[in-house]
């Protein structure tokens, strides 16, 4: 099975919000869509899902035009939504029904996920003091984080083959972030096709094999994350010494990226320049506590490509 997006274009009047987006997944995996606010990520996802008409381009599933309503797709939208006045159980059963999941199977799934996401006390509240059953809570009675968990549950109820997660972890506390990560990791391990959009670079680095960075509708960087990093080389040098090293940095002609009490981050051209700098420090009897040469982080690549001014 394969999933492919070819030259997607979307314009509103004179403004092109997505300009020639293309990528391909030859097998299960996680593809990341990165970009600043307004870069065109959500518009691209909506076009992939057929919610927005595209001006041109193709979305293919196994080589044929993708028909989302006929597929089993799990979607966690950036614009989170639940019916505030309806009970959680009613709406989860409704979402499952729309995905073609029968009531019995849906109940099984809801029970499983409510336990896993620690929502059973809201969806299946215990009987009251008089021993009478209590109705499932309404969405408006839940905290934002718990509502987000219900939405993740709605996206995964039908055990979808194709999962799209738009900013899945935004607004979650650390405990729930870990819970979400665990669930996402499980979904990935089931050999699913996952597209994830996020502003949280560490999350993307943790899950995604391939990335696309978008800026104002255009693709500015695309490919396998490891290869992209490799192509940049190990140019980030993190140094911590007991004595001041400012004059040696100047002498070696290095650029300071960031200076904190814990360390100084320098930009080098490669291993050779880094080794020359180390020798310079040692020759001047500087006590080196930390000397760490690394590839640039995704965060740095993103900022470089998109511009620090655009980053959240």
The residue ranges that bind another protein (CB under 8 A) are 46, 49-57, 67-70, 73-75, 77, 79-86, 90-91, 94-95, 97-99, 151, 154-155
* Residue 91: φ, ψ to 5°: -75, -30
Q: What is the rounded (10 degree) CA torsion for 190, 166, 142, 173?
A: 80
Asked if 102 and 92 count as a contact pair (C-beta separation under 8 A), the reply is no
Q: Quote the least distance from Cβ 308 to another protein, whole Å.
A: 28
150 versus 249: smaller Cβ distance to another protein: 150
* Residue 136: φ, ψ to 5°: -55, 145
95 versus 207: smaller Cβ distance to another protein: 95
Q: Quote the least distance from Cβ 60 to another protein, whole Å.
A: 13
Q: Quote the least distance from Cβ 149 to another protein, whole Å.
A: 14
69 versus 312: smaller Cβ distance to another protein: 69
Q: Report the DSSP beta bridge partners of residue 240.
A: 290
* Residue 86: φ, ψ to 5°: -95, 155
Residue 234 DSSP class: S
Q: Quote the least distance from Cβ 122 to another protein, whole Å.
A: 17
113 versus 302: smaller Cβ distance to another protein: 113
Sheet holding 288-294, edge to edge: 255-259, 264-267, 236-241, 288-294
Q: Report the DSSP beta bridge partners of residue 215.
A: 218
Q: Quote the least distance from Cβ 117 to another protein, whole Å.
A: 17
Nearest to 82 by CA among 136, 34, 41, 133: 136
77 versus 172: smaller Cβ distance to another protein: 77
């Amino acid at each position: 099975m394969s999933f492919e997006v070819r030259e997607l274009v979307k314009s509103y009047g004179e403004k092109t919000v997505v300009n020639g987006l293309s990528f391909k997944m030859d097998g299960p995996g996680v593809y990341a869509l990165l970009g600043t606010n307004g870069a065109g990520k959500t518009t691209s996802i909506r076009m992939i899902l057929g919610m927005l008409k595209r001006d041109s381009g193709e979305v293919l599933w196994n080589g044929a035009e993708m028909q989302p309503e006929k597929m089993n797709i799990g979607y966690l939208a950036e614009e989170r939504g639940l019916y505030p006045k309806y009970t959680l159980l009613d709406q989860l059963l409704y979402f499952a029904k729309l995905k073609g999941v029968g009531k019995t199977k849906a109940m099984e799934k809801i029970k499983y996920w409510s336990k896993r996401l620690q929502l059973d006390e809201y969806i299946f509240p215990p009987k009251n003091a008089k021993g009478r059953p209590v109705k499932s809570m309404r969405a408006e009675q839940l905290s934002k984080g718990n509502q987000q968990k219900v939405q993740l549950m709605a996206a995964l109820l039908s055990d979808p083959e194709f999962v799209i997660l738009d900013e899945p972890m935004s607004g979650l506390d650390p405990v729930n972030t870990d819970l979400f990560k665990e669930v996402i990791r499980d979904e990935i391990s089931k050999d699913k096709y996952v597209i994830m959009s996020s502003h949280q670079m560490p999350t993307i680095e943790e899950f995604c094999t391939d990335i696309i960075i978008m800026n104002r509708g255009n693709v500015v960087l695309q490919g396998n994350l490891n290869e992209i990093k490799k192509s940049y080389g190990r140019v980030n040098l993190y140094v911590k010494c007991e004595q001041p090293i400012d004059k040696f940095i100047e002498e070696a002609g290095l650029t300071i990226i960031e200076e904190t009490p814990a360390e100084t981050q320098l930009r080098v051209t490669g291993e050779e320049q880094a080794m020359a700098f180390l020798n310079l420090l040692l020759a001047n009897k500087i006590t080196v506590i930390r000397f760490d040469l690394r590839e640039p982080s995704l965060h740095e690549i993103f900022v470089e490509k998109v511009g620090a001014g655009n980053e959240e």
